[in-house]
Structure 1
Amino acid sequence: MRLLPLIAVLGLTACSPAQHAQVSKSYTDAASTGLGLPAMQNFGSVATSAAMRPNAEIARDFLDLEFRMESGRAIPSFSRFEGPITVRLTGDVPPTATTEMSRLISRFRTEAGLPVSFAQPADNASITVEFQPRAQMARVVPMAACFVVPRVQSWAEYKAERNGPKVDWTTMTKREHVAIFVPSDAAPQEIRDCLNEETAQAMGPLNDLYHLPDSVFNDDNFNSVLTGFDMLMLRMHYAPALRNGMNEAEAAKHVPALLAQMNPRGAGGVPDIKSIAPRSWVAAVEGAFGPRGGNAARLRAAEMMRSIAMAQGWHDGRLAFSNYAVGRSLASTDPAQAVAALSEAGRIYRSIPGAQVHVAHVDMQLAAIALAAGQSDQAIAFADRAIPVVKRAENASMLATLMLIKAEALENEGRAAEARSLRLDSLGWARYGFGSERQVRARMAEIANLGSRGRRG
């Protein structure tokens, strides 16, 4: 299950006033009936890097991903598809979905060596991706942006079976039919992100681990497209040495040899074996980033995240994420303390291999705070540092946000022509990242308000 994408695209709301200002004085004349948005931008080939951690550490991660659910329940038996894997898109399929799935299937075939293809019209598909309106999905699973279910092939079948044993992953010993449910009215980037994570989990590991810095199998949602680590997990999942019905101990006997063969660069090194986060910390994460409650409640949950992380003795990404949550929650009420917490998050993330995109998320928050404080030069510096990382990570919503922050900072420095050019360039990415014109306008208004605060400050 991919959680609602609150982290990447709503983090700035804590440090901006109500969104009633003009979208942008530099662009409101573009069209009398709308923004006159340019063509949607999209990304080229994915530039993934190989897993960068010791194999002994990756081995533990593989087993934790394979033999545990996100809820903490144990999965007694290994399961996967046998033979070719076919995919079908059904329901109200958005215009970009077929292209995104084609691109993803190509990656599965070339990077993970998996026999994945689109299903023929007359065939039953291994994986059915059904698109439903977000409101209808939210009535059933409120916290999920999208999710994957075994042994069903339609939304109607899932609703009929959702409280029964048929859709219980822990009873699986072989995968034959799996359904993925994705909101049909989501932004193109959210659709792509859902297809990446849920299709990978439909075929492979089912768990998400908050301590993984280099994976989409992490509910912090910082990585949005499948990484080199994720493709390694899928290659291992379909290795001939493993078979349906194996228990964890049986699978564990094969994992070191598989990693030595598939990831020789991971030989040696000092592994940092991490325990799975307790449910109390996961509940605090959900409180800090979930849609319920106000900013005060989110701050309390974020401080609980940090307290638990420190009590656990963590020094990894989970402590960084806890500081990130605290800083994000303090941005509107105590910018100085927010900067301190975010800076500590950035310090930890910079020490973790593969966590560059996490640092970019921190830099985006710091850039927004600097813009609101009238520190235009610092806002530009943070944006310039993050933009190349975000492009490589294919996060269009973050890219557009950073470009808009930089444009406002340039405007405040009297560089109006540069600001207008950058703002226009951002809009193609904003269309992909945010979707509707209304959402693009809201993000532009939010950042324009930050710039106004900086000018008044």
Structure 2
Amino acid sequence: MKVTLISHWCFNILKKIGLFLLIVFSIVYPIFSDALERNSGWRDLPFVENAFSDVVLESEFSSGLTPALKWENPIKVWVKHDVGNEELHNHLLSLHLQQLRKLTGLSITKVSKRYEANMLIFFTKQALWKDIVRREMGEKSAENTYGSTCMFNIRSERSTSRIVQAVIVIPVDQAREQGKLVSCIVEETTQALGLKNDSDRSFPSVFNDHTPDIFLTPLDITLVKLLYSPEVKAGMNKTTLKPILIRRYKEMQRNGELDEIYSQSIYSPLRQYLGM
């Protein structure tokens, strides 16, 4: 009888605890979910303007602002594999390129011959990557391999600021060791579109080295869509861009495009494939 009473008492206590946790969860989850969606002001125009300036108009390896760089011609991707898991790496890359194609409106296709390509992607190993970077990007870039997990380089026409070539080098063993293989694919290919600078002020973002994000965040998607708005032309400076960005951002607010960006982040093809 005593055992039965104790069991009944324990059951009631556990039931009350469970009910309490359920109530707490029902209160906290909507708040947390809303905070996640609106995190750090990507819906705030001044915040987005600053992030655009930091990521698009500044450069990791030079001081001062640069003109906007962007692709205006079709991107043709050639991939070189120096390591195994070729099928997996191709699939991960294809899924992310699928998202970039949709966000930018660019034609992005793979080609089988190097001479046909204007975007070269090397899946290699740590023992080879510095030599590849030196050969494909130059000595100055090779010096920056120390402390880097993976690298990209873009070349643009001096007269127009249109991007004409990109090179991405991913030492797979090194990236896997640091848990950054997917992050390298996402960040380097996106930066090769002209979002060329990392920024601690952009949060949350794959362009911020101090955040754990490995997929494009709502802020990142907003920046990509703004850069690849038809009104934004390669070579535009900050002063010229300001009214265009404001007008385009407000248009995205009015037509509901901004409301779709959160879903585009959460349900990206790559993220869905990885179940994350």
TM-score normalised by the chain length of structure 1: 0.41
Inter-CA distance 102–136: structure 2 relative to 1 (3 Å threshold) = same
Q: CA deviation at 1:207?
A: 1.1
Query: 1:407 matched to which residue of 2?
Result: none
Q: Describe how 1:82-231 pairs up with structure 2 within 5 A.
A: 82-95=72-85, 96-121=88-113, 124-137=116-129, 140=142, 141-151=145-155, 173-185=161-173, 186-187=175-176, 190-231=180-221
* Equivalent position amino acid for 2:170 in 1: V
From 231, 236, 240, the equivalent of 1:250 is: 240
Q: Secondary structure at the match of 1:232?
A: helix
CA distance in structure 1 between the aligned counterparts of 2:84 and 2:159, rounded to whole angstroms: 33
CA distance in structure 1 between the aligned counterparts of 2:96 and 2:220, rounded to whole angstroms: 13
* Equivalent position amino acid for 1:179 in 2: V
Query: Residue 53 of structure 1 contacts residue 266 of structure 1 at CA under 8 Å; is this kept in 2?
Result: no
* Equivalent position amino acid for 1:89 in 2: V
Query: 2:30 matched to which residue of 1?
Result: none
Query: 2:15 matched to which residue of 1?
Result: none
Inter-CA distance 169–138: structure 2 relative to 1 (3 Å threshold) = farther
- The one-character-per-residue Cα deviations of 1:395-451 (angstroms, maximum 9, x if unpaired) are xxxxxxxxxxxxxxxxxxxxxxxxxxxxxxxxxx9xxxxxxxxxxxxxxxxxxxxxx
Q: CA deviation at 1:120?
A: 4.8
Inter-CA distance 233–102: structure 2 relative to 1 (3 Å threshold) = same
Query: 1:411 matched to which residue of 2?
Result: none
Query: 1:260 matched to which residue of 2?
Result: 250
Query: Residue 138 of structure 1 contacts residue 144 of structure 1 at CA under 8 Å; is this kept in 2?
Result: no
Q: Secondary structure at the match of 2:247?
A: helix
Inter-CA distance 266–256: structure 2 relative to 1 (3 Å threshold) = farther
Query: Residue 94 of structure 1 contacts residue 184 of structure 1 at CA under 8 Å; is this kept in 2?
Result: no
Inter-CA distance 197–92: structure 2 relative to 1 (3 Å threshold) = same
* Equivalent position amino acid for 2:148 in 1: A
TM-score normalised by the chain length of structure 2: 0.65
Query: Residue 216 of structure 1 contacts residue 227 of structure 1 at CA under 8 Å; is this kept in 2?
Result: yes
Q: Secondary structure at the match of 1:150?
A: strand
* Equivalent position amino acid for 2:107 in 1: P
Query: Residue 80 of structure 1 contacts residue 238 of structure 1 at CA under 8 Å; is this kept in 2?
Result: yes
Query: 1:69 matched to which residue of 2?
Result: 59
Flag the structure with higher strand content.
2
CA RMSD of aligned residues (A): 3.4
CA distance in structure 2 between the aligned counterparts of 1:132 and 1:257, rounded to whole angstroms: 43
- The one-character-per-residue Cα deviations of 1:96-132 (angstroms, maximum 9, x if unpaired) are 2101111101211334444322235476222111123
Q: Secondary structure at the match of 1:62?
A: helix
Query: Residue 204 of structure 2 contacts residue 211 of structure 2 at CA under 8 Å; is this kept in 1?
Result: no
CA distance in structure 2 between the aligned counterparts of 1:182 and 1:90, rounded to whole angstroms: 10
Query: Residue 132 of structure 1 contacts residue 181 of structure 1 at CA under 8 Å; is this kept in 2?
Result: yes
Inter-CA distance 123–263: structure 2 relative to 1 (3 Å threshold) = farther
Q: Secondary structure at the match of 1:230?
A: helix
Inter-CA distance 54–246: structure 2 relative to 1 (3 Å threshold) = same
Q: Deviation above 6 Å: which 4+ runs of structure 1?
A: 168-172
CA distance in structure 2 between the aligned counterparts of 1:55 and 1:242, rounded to whole angstroms: 17
Q: CA deviation at 1:263?
A: 4.1
Q: CA deviation at 1:217?
A: 0.8
Q: Describe how 1:271-290 pairs up with structure 2 within 5 A.
A: none
CA distance in structure 1 between the aligned counterparts of 2:200 and 2:42, rounded to whole angstroms: 17
Structure 2: gaps (5+ residues): 1-35, 132-141
Aligned-residue sequence identity (percent) comes to 22
CA distance in structure 2 between the aligned counterparts of 1:60 and 1:170, rounded to whole angstroms: 25
* Equivalent position amino acid for 1:175 in 2: I
Q: Describe how 1:417-432 pairs up with structure 2 within 5 A.
A: none
